[in-house]
Amino acid sequence: MSFRDLLNSLPIPILQAPMAGATFEAMTVAVSQAGGLGNLAAAGVAPEELGAVVDAIRAQTGAPFGVNLLMAPAASPEPAEVDAARARLAPWYAELRLDVPDPPNRFSQVFDDQLEALRRAAPPLASFSFSILTRAQVEALHAAGTFVVGTANTVAEAVAWAEVGADGICAQGFEAGGHHAYFLADIEASSVGTMALVATVLAAVDLPVIAAGGIMDGRGVAAALALGASAVQMGSAFLQADEAIIGPTWQAALRDAPDDATRLTRAFSGRYARGLENRFVREMRAVQDFVPAYPVQNRLTQAMRAAADKAGDPELMSLWAGQAVKLAKPGAAGEMVKQWWAEAQATAQALVARTAKT
Ligand SMILES: Cc1cc2nc3c(=O)[nH]c(=O)nc-3n(C[C@H](O)[C@H](O)[C@H](O)COP(=O)(O)O)c2cc1C
C-alpha cells in the first residue's frame, strides 16, 4: 500500500497534530480509533522509552497512527553564550522567586538515538520537523515498514523532502500554532499561508500533501481538501480536548483569548513558534534575535515556563496556539474528529449546490 492509499483509506482524513507538551498517548489512540490518524509527539521521549509507548498505542488501536520527532541539532554552545542567556532570563526567574537553573548537561534528547529507537519501534508513520533526514535514514525507516512525512514551510523544503524519498509532505502554513518547521531559509522567507503553500507544494511535488495551520473546524477541512490536500493536520483545535495534557492556566488563556491574539516569537525557545501573545513575548521582542538557538534557549526557559504554569501565571508561559484558535472548542477528541468530518461533508454539499447555480 502506498502512503497515498493509506490516507485515502482513512475513514476520516484528519490527522491530529503531534504536540509536544500538550498531547500524548491517549489523544493519539482516541483519534486513530475514531477513524482519523493520531500522532504521538515524541520529541521529549527518551530513546529507551519510545518502543514501549509505541507498543502501547499499537495494542490499543488496530488503526494507523504516527510518531513525530523534532530534529534538534546537537548543541554545544559556548559557555559565554549560555551565561549571557541565563543573565537575560534572571529577572524573569526572579519574578517567580527562583534562581536561574545551572546549565544542564544536555539541552535535548539525542536525535540520532531517538531515530534509531523509532526505526526499531516501526510505527506505521513517522513525521519530522525542524530539519531533513538523509536518503539513507528514510530508506532505513522504509525497510522497517514506516512511511515518512517531512514537514515543510516552503516549496523548496517540500522538494528537498521529496528528493530524500519522503512519502508525503506536511505543508505547515504560517498560521500554524507551535514551532514552525523552516530549515532552508529564515522565518520571513518561510512565512507562507496555508492556502498558498498547499497549492504551490502540490504543483511542485508528486506526493500526497497534508495541510496544516489555522484549520479549526470542518469548513477548514473541506477548504484544504478542495485545494487538493489528501488530508489535514489539526493541532490547536485539539488543545481543549479531554485528552489534552495542558494545565488550567493555558486552557483559560485559550478560552479568554481575544481575536487575532497569536504572534510568532523566538524568545521562549530560540526557534520561531506561534502562541498567544503575553508579557514575555512582548518584552523579549527587542532581544529575541540574540537568544541562543533551539534547543538551548528552550531548555533554559523550561523551568521558568513550568514554574509559571504551577503558579497560574500565563504571562511567563509559552501558550502555543495557531491563528483562529478562538474557534476551538472543548470535547472528547474522537467526537471532535467525527463532528468536523460531518461539518466538512455538509460544507462540501453546500458548495456543490452553490457551484451548480449558473
Ligand atoms: C502546542 C503545540 C505543540 C506542537 N508541537 C509539535 C511537535 O512536537 N512536533 C511537530 O512536528 N509539530 C508540533 N506543533 C505543530 C503542529 O504539528 C501543527 O503544525 C500545527 O498545530 C498546525 O497548526 P494549528 O495549530 O493552527 O492547527 C505543535 C503545535 C502546537 C499548537
Tell whether ligand 1 has an atom less than 6 A from the beta carbon of residue 148: no
* Same domain for 95 and 50: no
Give the number of the atom of ligand 1 that is nearest the alpha carbon of residue 237: 27
In the predicted model, residues of the chain with pLDDT beneath 50 are none
pLDDT tens track for 10-64: 999 999 999 999 999 999 999 999 999 999 999 999 999 999 999 999 999 999 9
- CA–centroid distance, residue 178 to ligand 1 (Å): 5
Q: What is the CATH number of the domain that holds 31?
A: 3.20.20.70
Which of 14, 15, 19, 232 to mutate to test ligand 1, by most ligand atoms within 8 A of the CB atom? 19
> pLDDT value at position 357?
82
Same domain flag for 65 and 43: yes
Q: Are residues 199 and 270 in the same domain?
A: no
The reply to whether 149 and 210 lie within a common domain is yes
CA atoms within 13 A on the CB side of 283: 9
Domain check: are 212 and 144 in the same one? Answer: yes
Is the overall model pTM greater than 0.95, yes or no? yes
Q: Using CA atoms, how far apart are residues 316 and 265, in angstroms rounded to an integer?
A: 13
Whether residue 129 has its Cβ less than 6 Å from ligand 1: yes
Sign (positive or negative) of CA dihedral 140, 142, 147, 150? positive
- Cα distance between residue 181 and residue 39, in whole Å: 16
* Ligand 1 atom nearest 22 alpha carbon: 1
Q: Return the ∠ at Cα 277 (arms to 151 and 170), rounded to 5°.
A: 10
Q: What spacing in Å lies between the alpha carbon of 266 and ligand 1's midpoint?
A: 15
* C-alpha cell of residue 109: 534528547
- Same domain? For 168 and 229 the reply is yes
Distance (Å) from CA 210 to ligand 1 centroid: 13
Residue 227: what pLDDT?
A: 98
Domain count, the chain: 2
Is residue 150 lining ligand 1, measured as CB closer than 6 Å? no
Q: Are 184 and 272 found together in one domain?
A: no
Residue 339 three-state SS: helix
Note down the domain range covering 92. Answer: 75-106+262-320
- Which three cell numbers, joined as nine digits, stand for 310? 504551577
Q: How far is the CA of 274 from the centre of ligand 1 (A)?
A: 9
Query: Could you give the 3-state DSSP secondary structure of residue 133?
Result: coil
Give the pLDDT confidence score for residue 358 in this predicted structure. 73
Do the beta carbons of residue 246 and residue 239 sit within 8 Å?
yes
> Residues 243, 348: one domain?
yes
167 and 91 within one domain: no
Shared domain check, 194 and 237 = yes
* Residues forming beta bridges with residue 126, ordered by sequence position: 67, 148
Cα-to-centroid distance, 181 and ligand 1 (Å): 10
In 3D space, the residue among 287, 171, 285 whose CA is nearest the CA of residue 224 turns out to be: 171
Cβ–ligand 1 contact at 178 (below 6 Å): yes
* Pair (221, 247) in one structural domain: yes
The rounded Å distance from CA 179 to ligand 1 centre is: 6
Euclidean distance between CA atoms 214 and 220, whole angstroms: 8
Q: Is 20 in the pocket of ligand 1 (CB under 6 A)?
A: yes
**Are 193 and 226 within one domain?**
yes
For ligand 1, atom 3, the nearest C-alpha belongs to: 19
Evaluate whether 192 touches 154 at the Cβ level (below 8 Å).
yes
